[in-house]
Structure 1
């Protein structure tokens, strides 16, 4: 998660993209917890690969996510954007035993039993436009036999979502070290696929783990959409989404909505598919399909498909404004 998330600016100018909240929880926290749910066993360690300038507060927040799962939190730094293979090797001290590796800007919903007898499992999702993704091809034994990046001709419609299980991570570490030593690069980057292909050439078996839903958080529009989809899943699962300390005064809440601790909704209609962060005040407004973070204030607004950060102020009847880089009023 060392990338800066430039496509999600201005929201990632102050915090890394994986800490953007989706339905009230940071993306990376939801990802870690959902992986833990699928694995259904104790997790010993959660290792994060970040940029060194993310700051001490971010590092402590990440360690707390691990601690909440009864695990040790470890921090590693990737100082240069040299690809997924390089990022994984930045955490090589943690690469031993059974391990899941995940890219921290994607969320998922899955209901399958992980095949822990396989040497590795690559999680995939059936997609309509496989030419836009890396895809896997399967043999007659339902084992992965090929990995193709953005195929021009149809190979498979099973897209790799960026989550992998390895029964023994030390094997991947050995193969990725060989990739780095050989300076085997694509577009100036070292890729995990080259380590995987070397494992396959030595007889290791890879199987697919098919997920039901795959949600991206790459830019503002898809992040707002993902927030809404996650709220819908949580509502179906019976999650409690409105904090008891939230103050609702002449407010209409159309579910699903997440309303954080001590938020105030006054003379307003909120929902569906809206997240309101802790301490945020919404007054005299109508808001749907939007994501508003902590301690912000929105008044006199008609918002749809909106994303507002922390400690922001937006008045729909604005005249005096102060707008910085990468901001939009549409």
Structure 2
């Protein structure tokens, strides 16, 4: 089994945090979004992952590539790195990894997290993960027939079609079939909204009689902007806490401080006269003094003093000293 991860977009809605780090590498509960994504997919599939192929931007840099290789290797898989040099859509991004598009595979966009507990239907030619939503008009949705087969993919329908929204994760029994259909999309220059879309490749497969079924998830968590990323961090912390996962390093130094779970606290963090939690992630090497922090995400090696933070997101190597509450400052920023 392979996992294909298109992630060439940096994530403009999450700036300033994505000015220095691509969105899929922003940590959620102490672990990069893309790392949690591929781990959760591996759990659902419950079989050996042979390869993880990442499609990244040409300007992501050597450190990002090394981090992605480590993520694949943590699953016992080979890492492949491909580049998308122009933002020409999901279909184009997938075809940038065409050398890896053979055999059974999951394609997953690295800007979402999920929780699911179901058995993958490997008798189907494909599975499209969906989540029931209250406002289907804002999403791409699937329409089902009486056999629970997907008959239509409709992008942001103006009239009600279905309340099952596509979350951006797909399984293909043989992803080479999708590759052939997407090659046709490229050759015939089938463009929607200025981009080549995966849906046109899937539609070509369906027209040839291949069967797609829905795979429903229990939770779907977005990481699109600062507010929803902080919210997703809190939700993920609750799930991990309920599962009994250890979230605080033994190397944390605590002086006159209290922690309200769930919280993630990384290696060599220093807490002095601090109230932390609930729903707070603090990355490695941070120092927090004379502060109260809840519902917030702080990355690595940052220094927080005299703060009262709620719904805040702070990057790595940042310094914050002040009375602001719902802040969003990126890596290496100083606000004193």
Scaled by the length of structure 1, the TM-score of the pair is: 0.96
In structure 2, runs of 5+ residues without a counterpart are 1-6
Secondary structure of 2:17's match?
A: coil
Distance 1:128 1:270, change over 3 A: same
Q: Which runs of 4+ in 1 moved over 6 A?
A: none
| Map of 2:274 onto structure 1 | 268
The Cα offsets for residues 128-170 of structure 1, whole Å up to 9 and x where unpaired, read as: 0000000000000001011000000000000000000000000
| Map of 1:180 onto structure 2 | 186
**Which of 189, 194, 199 in structure 1 is aligned with 2:195?**
189
Q: Check if 1:313 corresponds to 2:327.
A: no
Contact 2:319 2:334 in 1 (8 A): no
| Map of 1:77 onto structure 2 | 83
Distance 1:100 1:316, change over 3 A: same
Q: Check if 1:227 corresponds to 2:214.
A: no
Shift of 1:317: 5.8
Shift of 1:197: 0.5
The Cα offsets for residues 246-301 of structure 1, whole Å up to 9 and x where unpaired, read as: 11111100000000000111100000000000000010000000000000000000
CA distance in 1, matches of 2:180, 2:68: 27
Describe how 1:59-74 pairs up with structure 2 within 5 A. Answer: 59-74=65-80
**Which of 226, 239, 245 in structure 1 is aligned with 2:245?**
239
**Which of 149, 152, 157 in structure 2 is aligned with 1:143?**
149
Contact 2:318 2:334 in 1 (8 A): no
Q: Check if 1:115 corresponds to 2:112.
A: no
| Map of 2:310 onto structure 1 | 304
| Map of 1:2 onto structure 2 | 8
Distance 1:35 1:144, change over 3 A: same
Secondary structure of 1:96's match?
A: coil
CA distance in 2, matches of 1:52, 1:179: 24
**Which of 85, 98, 104 in structure 2 is aligned with 1:98?**
104
Distance 1:317 1:123, change over 3 A: closer
Contact 2:252 2:269 in 1 (8 A): yes
Shift of 1:52: 1.1
Shift of 1:316: 1.4
CA distance in 2, matches of 1:42, 1:8: 33
The Cα offsets for residues 92-111 of structure 1, whole Å up to 9 and x where unpaired, read as: 00000000000001000001
Contact 2:115 2:217 in 1 (8 A): yes
CA distance in 2, matches of 1:328, 1:280: 14
Shift of 1:4: 1.5
CA distance in 2, matches of 1:115, 1:231: 29
CA distance in 1, matches of 2:188, 2:180: 12
CA-atom RMSD in angstroms: 1.5
Contact 2:57 2:85 in 1 (8 A): yes
CA distance in 2, matches of 1:35, 1:317: 41
